[in-house]
Chains A and B, each alone.
Chain A
Amino acid sequence: MADVYLSGKYIGTTDSPSEFISRVREERRKGIIPDNVNINHNHESNEVFIEAARGRLRRPLIVVKDGKPTLTDQHIKQLEKKEARWSDLVKQGIIEYLDASEEDNTLIAFFESELTPKHTHLEITPLAIFGLVTALVPYANFNSAQKVNTGSKNQKQALGFYASNYHIRMDMDVNVLHYPQKPVVKSVMHDISEYDQHPSGQNVVVAVMSYKGYNMEDAIIINKASIERGLGRGTYFRPMVAEELRYSGGLVDEISIPDKDVKGYKSEKDYRYLEEDGIIYPEAKVKEGDVVIGKTSPPRFLSGMDQYRLASDTRRESSLIMKHGEEGIVDLILITENGEGNKLVQVKIRDERIPEIGDKLTSRHGQKGVIGLIVPHTDMPFTISGIVPDLLFSPHGIPSRMTMAHLIELLAGKTGGLSGRYINGTIFDSEPEEALRKELLGLGFRDNGLETMYNGETGEKFTVRIFVGNMYYLRLKHMVANKIHSRARGPIQLLTRQPTEGRAKEGGLRLGEMEKDTFVAHGASLLLKERFDSDRTVVPLCENCGIIAIHDEFKKKNYCPICGESVEISFIEISYAFKLMLDEFKSMGIYPKMQLKSKY
């Protein structure tokens, strides 16, 4: 007697669980029971679990009967002729999807040759243990597991040709690579996913060597001529969206060139690109501070005293302005309505991004690095056959990370490039390294990929031969242009008078608690004071009651709100944050009395 549960709920018992289960499975394969039902027999507790809930991770397997796969050559021929489809195989019960619980009751063979009568299923391909993107890593079975993972993560951040209608799409924050190429070393997953239709990298010539120390700590060195020929060149698209919002009382935003009497009016120069409708014209070159969409909003508060005020009807400026450090060319303008029928204006700004020092590139093996130096073509080292590499990769990145596939891809890319064919680098099913070496030897190169190279500056021959090859490099979306940040003076917060935080607000760089400690440890007391001077204020203090007094600039008078004018008032220098804290103490009913004494 075994209890039976359906999606976790008890529904009954069965006297012969194994018979019951095999019947369910058979009927599922026949199509009587839906194919997304899974059944599991827990032998320890003698319970049967039928799972039909959503959200289970399931994977397809070939059904095996009596030690023979039910998938025959005939089926494969049908598939090749496109007479049958995958879904037909599922319907026929040749391929079935199992979830984690049903997998417990199965014996799955990796290869057909391993099949015994005990086996219940056969793996479709060993590649199935990887996901789509991970299967795009060539020769990944030669990599350490962690680097296969990072390699697949990096591919998701690569610039590419993400959609062929990108120029009429209003995507947020996207990049397009100008000259994407198909990879020379590819896997079957590239074919299955039609990677050729949306590639995201370029084949480059890589030499594994150091160069003047500018490629230490994972940096890479790039040939300036390669960049000028379009290596890694891309465009960054940034949309700006403005909406005519409706407020209570029938007030609306207005997209137009703001009048000069509007509250917060910028200078006339800032509005110079706007056309009559208040929107910028296409192909305008905009820089930081320029208005892209002119907009005004109704005054913020309309209640209470405002109605007696003269200026109550002035509107507020709320235009869309290019932020600090942003620039570009207006690409596409879209004027439409949103769901509520309000006017909606979207402006797409494009910015060409040529690779520069600090931009991030990676191979498909998690060997990421930033550009450390851009070297003129004439100064780059060159091989004996006159090949100048596009990219110099530091050999120190290899031993600790154990990315052997990085080196194999280099070799495979070289062979493929020279012989003019694509190399199959499918995981577990790739062209063997030895065959590649043999072919390379036949093409007139050393089979180990080494080449004699010459110093580009002096023309001297390097005493060591350099490993040169061809591989697929990706440019990642992390670009310095979006991240560079510095501040000398800048905006402060209203409440604390301390610098704002973050790049978007042109904020300061925080000198934190532990950084403060280092100043104290050095005894650099006065330097520490200077660092924390950002919110320094001078306030009058009543020496009688010890509370901050009032300085009247018009009457040139100081007086204490409690003790009046006939007390001594001194000026002290404190941080504004402390003054704020004293005010908060007072609001809590704590009397913070300050006693002054001579410093000396």
Chain B
Amino acid sequence: MEDLLKKYEEKLPSAIIDEIRENMPKKISEAKAREILERIESEYENMKAEPGESVGIVSAESIGEPGTQMTLNTFHFAGVAEMNITTGLPRIIEILDGRKQITTPMMEIYLKKPYSQGKDIKKIAMYIKETKLSDIASEITLNIAESRIEVSINEEKAKELGITEAKLIQALKISNKTLSVDIKKGTYIFKAKSKDENANQIYKSKDKIKESYIRGIRGIKQILPVKKEGEFMIITAGSNLKKILSLPFVDETRTTTNDIFEIEDALGIEASRQALINEVYKVIDTQGLNVDIRHLMLVADTMCFNGKLKGITRYGVVKEKASVLARASFETPIKHLISASITGELDPLNSVVENVMLNQPVPVGTGLPKLVTVKDAGKK
């Protein structure tokens, strides 16, 4: 049996061999096993894309056609105010365009053993959430007469979050370096450090004070601890993968975000390729549509093969096309033609669009193979 499998090691990928090894009945005659393997091999060869098959356009059509059926819906989280996620077509466009700022960044944080059973889950959630001064302040007033800003704190909220006076002062000092901070009778007073600052500048810094970072992980705007399949995890609105992964209680093998650029930054291009496939597939799957994963893999590959994530836009993937005519026929033709004429670019005409323009056979399918005859074959 093993000898037989060894023969096929070059013909079939190891994943398939492993699967055969697992599922092959123990008592099987060699003739039958051989027949099975032969059938698997021919099936495998059948599934391969043939030379000259236009996989790119087939992928584009296979993703584009279901895309027309997708509805513009957002997915709502019950119970949490204003926590909805863009899905459907807008989300797919966002991913494939390679937008750096996505509309609803979101994380799924898995926890390590004692915590995943519910230990300190509230504390952890509170710890992760980014707290700003405006979250715990009950009143922020501008005192123009003495050109200062007075902030009174909602004690209850602060206590709930475990923020002490000393901690707060320290945090405020760090996030407001141009201002001095004092406490008088429970109100925090902000004053300009340099004397020549006038009231107008104080007024301008009011909004900045509101947004003062106090505690938690930057970017995590909302948290929602949930119990999923017998374990506790945290869903967040807002994302900061690098910081979250460095926390000791986080299970870094499963924790993920929907911000592909953060994944690229924290885990590298291979991880972001997989994340890209997962994210697009998730959208298509939840819409009840059926797209072969290999189409998404091809798209993800073209977006990632350069080592940096590139969107399918005129600044991303299209910019990388070899042909001037192909680039010019997409968007901003004049820009491409001028730069091509300045550098004296050569268009080898070996892709589809250029050849359609010239009315030549496109080099795919029947246009790819060429018949060569030896001119002087009879002479020899």
B362 pairs with A520, CB closer than 8 A: yes
From B54, B58, B358, B368, name the one whose CB has the most chain A CB atoms within 10 angstroms: B358
- Assess the A521–B363 pair: CB atoms within 8 A: no
Q: Is the CB of A533 within 8 A of B366?
A: no
**Are B359 and A575 in contact, with the CB atoms below 8 A?**
yes
CA distance A588 to B61 in the complex (A): 36
Within the complex, which residue of B58, B60, B358, B361 is in contact with A578, where a contact is CB–CB below 8 Å? Answer: B358
> Are A526 and B57 neighbours in the complex by a CB distance under 8 Å?
no
Bound form: Cα–Cα A591–B343 in Å: 12
Contact of B357 among A517, A521, A575 (CB under 8 A): A575
Is A174 engaged at the interface, CB distance under 8 Å to the other chain?
A: no
User: Are B57 and A524 neighbours in the complex by a CB distance under 8 Å?
Assistant: no
| Bitwise interface map of A from 566 to 588 toward B, beta carbon under 8 Å scored 1, else 0 | 00000001110110010001001
State how many angstroms separate the Cβ of A492 from the closest Cβ of chain B. Answer: 15
Residues of chain A at interface, number, CB under 8 A: 31
Check if A521 sits within 8 Å of B366, measured CB to CB.
no
Complex Cα distance, B369 from A523, in Å, reads: 11
Contact yes or no, B54 A523, CB < 8 A: yes
B366 to A524, Cβ gap below 8 A?
yes
**A525–chain B nearest beta-carbon distance, Å:** 3
Q: Are B364 and A523 in contact (CB under 8 A)?
A: yes
List, in ascending order, chain B residues with CB within 8 A of A581's CB.
357
Q: Which B residues, 330 to 380, have Cβ-Cβ distances below 8 Å to chain A?
A: 337-338, 341, 346, 352, 356-368, 370, 372
Does B162 reach chain A (CB closer than 8 Å)?
A: no
Contact B356 A526 (CB under 8 A): no
B197 at the interface (CB under 8 A from A): no
Q: How far is the CB of B150 from chain A (nearest CB, A)?
A: 36
Contact A528 B53 (CB under 8 A): no
* Most B CB within 10 A of own CB, among A535, A574, A578: A578
B186 in the interface, Cβ–Cβ < 8 Å? no
- Note all chain B residues with C-beta closer than 8 A to A525: 361-368
| B337 contacts A524, C-beta separation under 8 Å | no
List, in ascending order, chain B residues with CB within 8 A of A591's CB: 341
Given contacts A529-B361, A573-B359, contact A520 B341 (CB under 8 A): no
Q: Please state if A575 and B358 are interface contacts (CB–CB under 8 Å).
A: yes
Residues of A within 8 A of B365 (CB): 520, 522-525
Distance (whole angstroms) from the CB of A161 to the closest CB of chain B = 45
Q: Does A516 contact B (CB under 8 A)?
A: yes
Interface size on B, residues (CB 8 A): 27
CB pair A532 B366 closer than 8 Å? no
Q: CA–CA, A510 to B337, complex, Å?
A: 27
Cα-based distance from A599 to B356 in the complex (angstroms): 17
- Known A-B contacts A590-B337, A591-B341; A578 and B359 likewise in contact (beta carbons under 8 Å): yes
Q: Which residues of B contact A503 (CB under 8 A)?
A: none
Q: When A585-B337, A600-B370, A600-B372 are in contact, do A520 and B359 touch as well, CB less than 8 Å?
A: no
B52 at the interface (CB under 8 A from A): yes
Q: Is the CB of B370 within 8 A of A520?
A: no
- How many Å lie between the Cα of A529 and that of B52 in the bound state? 16
B247 CB, nearest partner CB in chain A, Å: 48
Q: Is A536 part of the contact surface with B, judged by Cβ < 8 Å?
A: yes
Whether B356 pairs with A532 at a CB distance below 8 angstroms is yes
Chain B residues within an 8 Å CB radius of A523:
52-54, 364-368
Interface residues of A in 534-555 (CB under 8 A from B): 535-536
User: Quick one: closest A residue to B371, CB to CB?
Assistant: A600
* Complex alpha-carbon distance, A595 and B337, angstroms: 18
Interface centre among B53, B357, B370 (most CB of A within 10 A): B357
| CB proximity of B9 to chain A, nearest CB, Å | 32
A527 and B364 CA atoms in complex are apart in Å by: 12
Task: Across the interface, name the chain B residue whose C-beta is closest to A599.
Answer: B370
User: Given the complex, which residues of A lie within 8 Å of B60, measured CB to CB?
Assistant: 517
A533 to B358: give the CA distance in the assembly, Å: 10
Question: Across the interface, do B356 and A590 meet the contact criterion of CB distance under 8 Å?
Answer: no
A66 to B114, CA, bound (A): 77
Residues of B within 8 A of A599 (CB): 370
Specify which chain A residues have a CB less than 8 angstroms from the CB of B370 in the assembled complex. Answer: 599-600
With A590-B337, A590-B341 known as contacts, the answer to whether A521 contacts B359 (CB < 8 A) is no
Pair A526/B361 contact, Cβ less than 8 Å: yes
Closest-by-CB residue of B relative to A518 is B61
Report chain A residues within 8 Å CB of B53: 523
List residues of chain B with CB within 8 A of the CB of A520: 54, 57, 352, 362, 364-365
B-contacting residues, A431-457, CB 8 Å: none
Give Cα distance in the complex from A599 to B361, angstroms. 12
Query: Bound state CA distance, A468 and B83, in angstroms?
Result: 56
Please judge, given known A-B contacts A533-B359, A574-B359, A575-B358, whether A517 and B366 are in contact too, CB under 8 Å: no
Q: Which of A517, A528, A533, A573 gathers the greatest number of chain B CB atoms within 10 Å?
A: A528
Closest chain A residue to B375, Cβ basis: A600
A581 to B347, CA, bound (A): 15
When C-beta atoms are compared, the residue in chain A nearest to B365 turns out to be: A523
What residues of chain A lie closer than 8 Å to B363, measured between beta carbons?
Answer: 525
CA distance A284 to B57 in the complex (A): 57
Q: How far is the CA of A32 from the CA of B278 in the complex (A)?
A: 75
B376 to chain A: closest CB distance in Å? 14
Which residues of A lie under 8 Å from residue B356 when comparing CB positions?
Answer: 516, 528, 532
- Which A residues lie within 8 Å of B362 (CB)? 520, 525, 528-529
The CA of A527 and the CA of B338, in the complex, are separated in Å by 33
Closest to A581 in B: B357
Nearest-neighbour CB distance to chain A for B348, whole angstroms, equals: 10
Q: Mark B53-89, 1 if CB is under 8 A from A, else 0.
A: 1100110110000000000000000000000000000
Chain B residues engaging chain A, CB cutoff 8 angstroms: 52-54, 57-58, 60-61, 337-338, 341, 346, 352, 356-368, 370, 372
> What are 5 pairs between A and B in contact, CB < 8 Å?
A525-B362, A527-B366, A528-B356, A590-B341, A595-B346
- List 9 other contacts, CB 8 Å, given A520-B362, A525-B362, A585-B337: A521-B57, A523-B52, A523-B367, A525-B361, A525-B366, A528-B361, A574-B358, A578-B357, A590-B337
In the A-B complex, the 3 residue pairs with the closest CB atoms: A523-B365, A525-B367, A575-B359
